[in-house]
Structure 1
Amino acid sequence: MNFILYSDVNDGSISQSLGRPEYSYYFVLKAYRPVLESLGRVHVVQAPAEVDRLYHELRLKGEDSLFLSFTPPQKTPLDLDCPTLCVVAWEFDSIPHEYWDNDPHQDWSRTLGRHGRVITLSSHTARAVRRVLGEHFPVLVLPTPLWERFDGVRGQYPNVPVNAGTTLQIKGCIIDSRALGLSADGLIAPVLEEAPPPPAPVEVEIAEVPPLTARRRLFIAKHYLREWYRALVGGEWRRPLFISKHYIRECYREGLRDRVPERLRALMAKSSPEHAAPLPVVLPEPEPAPEPEHPQAVLPATDQQVEFQVDGVVYVSVFNPDDGRKNWHQLITAFCWAMRDTEDATLVLKMTQNDLSTYYVEMLTLLSQLSPFRCRVVAMHGYLDDEQFARLYGAASFYVNASRCEGLCLPLMEFMACGKPVIAPLHTAMLDYIDEEVAFVVKSSQEPAIWPQDSRILFRTLRHRPDWGSLKTAYQDSYRMAKENPEGYQSMSLAAALRMQEYSSFASVQGRLRDFFALTPLTEADGASSLAVAGNA
């Protein structure tokens, strides 16, 4: 079997795609690839247009192929000759089963029905698909295999509830609540001195025009007679009557009108009003100078190597602050409220967002509103290499998730694979691997939601609303366990690691794939051939 793989995001574009909705699909493809290589040959294409060419080449050799699209169904083509399957990460309780903007591709039920089967990352997504396409629609629930990836982290960083001190480095910048000098007073605009009243209007009186003399009247008449003659000589003979009337009227207005009786003057004034007595001219009030715009926030440099140390009970969360599902405001406020008098509690936030300006001011405002507090909040903005990410895994006492819905949540699974107990709600994809043995469960309830890509912004589905009080209690209970019950912490740590071993080990995921496609794992010789072909793809 040949597996043809495609994702909108690839190795070349991953650094520019941080925070995009398709960003996670890239990591799912990378995680699936070794398992697929154990069952067949893998080819990664750069565009869907390459799929059918490769499919027909392999078919001429008598080889079967399957195209796995690691993109949302609305972006997956329907007109390919190659059999196609979508890999779907979805976090809402229903899939789009209607379309908008005259685009039938937005109807996922149409796309998945044409393909005939689908791979989902969670049981929650599988239920959403079957709710529309029927209980017997073929769905493979396939979490990403990641257990073996963290063997080195588990061996290098033993799990301890209270961190004695770990130095972390990042190429970018950090926002550290203890280095900001936070104060709620910084949110209040300064009181400006009362501006002086505007100056009174200036009145300027124009002097009355002196009376016309006979000499002046003659000069005016000669002037307009000369202009009349020039106009006619200059080619205006096509309109002689209009030109003559114009200059006679002007000569009358400037030199003769005052000699005509008032009653007759009113009859002769057709379109232009009579000159009235000069009136005082009032100049307009000067406009006030525009107020200067609020200066833009000065962002810290993001191209430096920054180092800092964390210790005590360390909570970690990884998310994109532009993703409204992540509920990061409550994650921070509940922590600061629960730990406001606790100096050795630290919340480390790793931001998966390229643009610091999208959340910098918002975060500083939030932390200022919460101040004063003795706990510590550190946001990491920038690139973490594998070694530094391993140190972050090792530094954590707990991982925190407070999101409204999840399609899988790879960071949560990764920290659990490293043996970290978690704080998380029990809903959507997390139903597959979260319970009270491995987590401090946050209560939640359902609320209406929209499909993210729905331009109509209509409520068609549901998501979950985590309970802030429950989240605050989970922070307090977990801190108490870390400080007072190290045996209980170690028990929960071991349970988290075992859960991920059962749920996301290579053997477990390979067995699901093998049974779904009725395949036989490759021999060692076949595997070597597969890797060679994949390397040339």
Structure 2
Amino acid sequence: MNFILYSDVNDSSISASLGRPEYSYYFVLKAYRPVLESLGRVHVAGSVADVDVIYRQLLAAGEDSVFLSFTPPQKTPVDLQCPTICVVAWEFDSIPDEQWDDDPRQDWTRMLARHGRVITLSSHTATAIRRAMGEAFPVLVLPTPLWDSFATIRQQHQPMPVNPGTALAIKGCIFDSRTLGLSADSLLPVPLTAEEEAALAAELEAARPPPLTLKRRLIIARHYLRLWLLNAGEQQAEPVPRVKFLSNWYWEGVRDLLPDAVHDWLEQRLPAVCAAPPLPIVEPVPRNLPDTSSVVETQVDGVIYVSVFNPKDGRKNWHQLITAFCWAFRETADATLVLKITQNDLTLYYDELMTLLAQLTPFACRVVVLHGYLDDGQYARLYQAASFYVNASRCEGLCLPLMEFMCSGKPVIAPDHTAMQDYIDDSVAFVVKSSEEPAIWPQDSRLIYRTLRHRPDWGSLKTAYERSYRMATTQPQAYHRMSAAAVERMQQYCGLSEVQTRLSNFFQLLPKVGDVVFAKDNA
């Protein structure tokens, strides 16, 4: 069997794609690749157009193929010659079963029916699909096989409830609540002194245009008449409409002479001339943001909580994650929250984050924000530094970072809803309570409620922080039991041999000789 794989994000574009809605599909493809290679040959297509080219070449050689599309159903083609299966990550309780914007592709039931079967990352997604497609529709629940890839980290590092000290480095920038000088007073507008008010008044007076005398009105008319004539004599790909100059002359030269009633009458009959011109685009004042081109470093110790998320992802509920932490540890100096941000554009969240931290001051605990790119070695240090991983999401299609930290032996704080219900319970986590609430399918341009997500309970999250801290500082044996349980849970859930068995049964294939033994040797 040949497996043809495709994702919109690839090796060359991943560093510039952090924060895109489907960028995590790239990591799922990479994680699936070893188990697919144990069952057949893998071909990664550079584009969707390459899929049938590869398929026809293999078919001519007498070989079967299947195309695994690591893209959402509405972006997965249904007209290829190669048999197509969509790999779906989905976090809501229902799938789109109606179309909008005159686009039938938005109806996932049509797309999946054309494919004939589907691979999902969680049983939650499988339930939503079967609810729409029928219980007999072929659905494979295939968690991303991560456990084996963390063997080296598990061998080199024994999880510690209290970190004695770890250096974290990143190519980008680091924000540390203890060095930012944040204060709630900084949120209040600073009143101007008498001298500053006088200087501002003088600046406004100097910028005031001169009065519109008859001479100045003639100068304005001559200016726009000149532009009109010059524009008519020039050869331009996109000439400026002449009516624009007449409109500018009207608004700058004579509009103030007319009463509103006359202006309204003219606007109805000559809208191109008399309608109000568009407001000018005001460029934002550039912020004094730090350089992100060099490698920077910080030291962390104590009880370390880590979370990885994109602040522009509305599912991640990061405001509660931070506020519950700072409230739980307002007087606890050795509690640190490390936030690894998966968003390239610092300007998209900087003001929001700094305002939130300033609103919470003063607090004795520490918040460290890592913005930029972590290579494999730097990520390994982050895995090792953590005492706990924290998730406070409203819904998840899988949550790779949560699974990765559990694979490295870290207990977690997380809800047990959506995809996380497959692997989160009291033995491996401090479970955050939640309840259902209405939600919108994120790609639905109509913005209407059609599905459900979950609302984590802030008080439960705060209590989970407090309970986990007590365990780390006073019950190290209980911490190590929970750490071992996390590793065992991930081996059962996303170990290579388990995923390999599910996949081979779905395709009725046998692993190549030696692959299952290899998976066990890495256990």
TM-score by length of 2: 0.81
Alignment of 1:74-93 (within 5 A): 74-93=74-93
Q: CA deviation at 1:463?
A: 0.4
Query: Which residue does the alignment assign to 1:46?
Result: 46
SS at match of 1:172: strand
> Is the alpha carbon distance of 1:175 and 1:500 closer, same or farther for their aligned partners in structure 2, counting shifts above 3 Å?
same
SS at match of 2:464: helix
Query: Which residue does the alignment assign to 2:355?
Result: 365
Alignment of 1:130-529 (within 5 A): 130-193=130-193, 195=197, 295-523=285-513
Contact 1:347 1:377 in 2 (8 A): yes
Q: CA deviation at 1:81?
A: 1.1
Q: CA deviation at 1:294?
A: 8.4
Q: CA deviation at 1:10?
A: 0.5
Contact 1:481 1:488 in 2 (8 A): yes
Q: CA deviation at 1:395?
A: 0.5
Q: CA deviation at 1:297?
A: 2.8
Q: Distance in 2 between matches of 1:161 and 1:102?
A: 55
Count how many residue pairs are aligned between Structure 1 and Structure 2: 436
Q: Distance in 1 between matches of 2:493 and 2:432?
A: 22
Q: Kindly, what percent of the aligned residue pairs are identical?
A: 71
Contact 2:4 2:65 in 1 (8 A): yes
Q: Distance in 2 between matches of 1:128 and 1:293?
A: 45
SS at match of 1:318: strand
Letter matched to residue 436 of structure 1: D
Q: Distance in 1 between matches of 2:308 and 2:193?
A: 46
Q: CA deviation at 1:494?
A: 0.5
Q: Distance in 2 between matches of 1:54 and 1:336?
A: 54
Contact 1:55 1:65 in 2 (8 A): yes
Letter matched to residue 119 of structure 2: I
Q: Distance in 1 between matches of 2:514 and 2:50?
A: 29
Contact 1:7 1:29 in 2 (8 A): yes
Letter matched to residue 398 of structure 1: F
Q: CA deviation at 1:109?
A: 0.5
Q: Distance in 1 between matches of 2:303 and 2:293?
A: 29
* Alignment partner of 1:25 is 2:25: yes
Query: Which residue does the alignment assign to 2:61?
Result: 61
Contact 2:15 2:373 in 1 (8 A): no
Q: Distance in 1 between matches of 2:283 and 2:315?
A: 33
Query: Which residue does the alignment assign to 1:258?
Result: none
Letter matched to residue 347 of structure 1: L
Letter matched to residue 175 of structure 1: F
| Alignment deviations for residues 434-471 of structure 1 (CA, whole Å, 9 cap, x no partner) | 00000000000111110110011111111000000000
Letter matched to residue 313 of structure 1: V
| Alignment deviations for residues 356-396 of structure 1 (CA, whole Å, 9 cap, x no partner) | 11111111111100000000000000111111111110010
Q: CA deviation at 1:348?
A: 0.1
Q: Distance in 1 between matches of 2:293 and 2:55?
A: 44
Q: CA deviation at 1:156?
A: 1.4
Name which one, 1 or 2, has greater alpha-carbon Rg: 1
Q: Distance in 1 between matches of 2:9 and 2:167?
A: 32
Q: CA deviation at 1:161?
A: 0.4
Letter matched to residue 16 of structure 1: A
SS at match of 1:323: coil
| Alignment deviations for residues 24-71 of structure 1 (CA, whole Å, 9 cap, x no partner) | 000000000110011011111111111112212211221111000000
Letter matched to residue 38 of structure 2: S
Tell me, which stretches of 5 or more residues in structure 1 are unaligned?
205-291, 528-537
Q: Distance in 1 between matches of 2:288 and 2:136?
A: 57
Letter matched to residue 349 of structure 2: Y
Q: Distance in 2 between matches of 1:455 and 1:40?
A: 40
> Is the alpha carbon distance of 1:293 and 1:18 closer, same or farther for their aligned partners in structure 2, counting shifts above 3 Å?
closer
Contact 1:297 1:361 in 2 (8 A): no
Q: Alignment RMSD, CA only?
A: 1.9
Contact 1:350 1:380 in 2 (8 A): yes
Q: CA deviation at 1:295?
A: 4.7
TM-score by length of 1: 0.79
* Alignment partner of 1:124 is 2:124: yes
Q: CA deviation at 1:296?
A: 3.9
Q: Distance in 2 between matches of 1:39 and 1:451?
A: 35
SS at match of 1:109: helix
SS at match of 2:315: helix
| Alignment deviations for residues 471-514 of structure 1 (CA, whole Å, 9 cap, x no partner) | 00000000011011111111101000100011111100000000
Contact 1:165 1:309 in 2 (8 A): yes
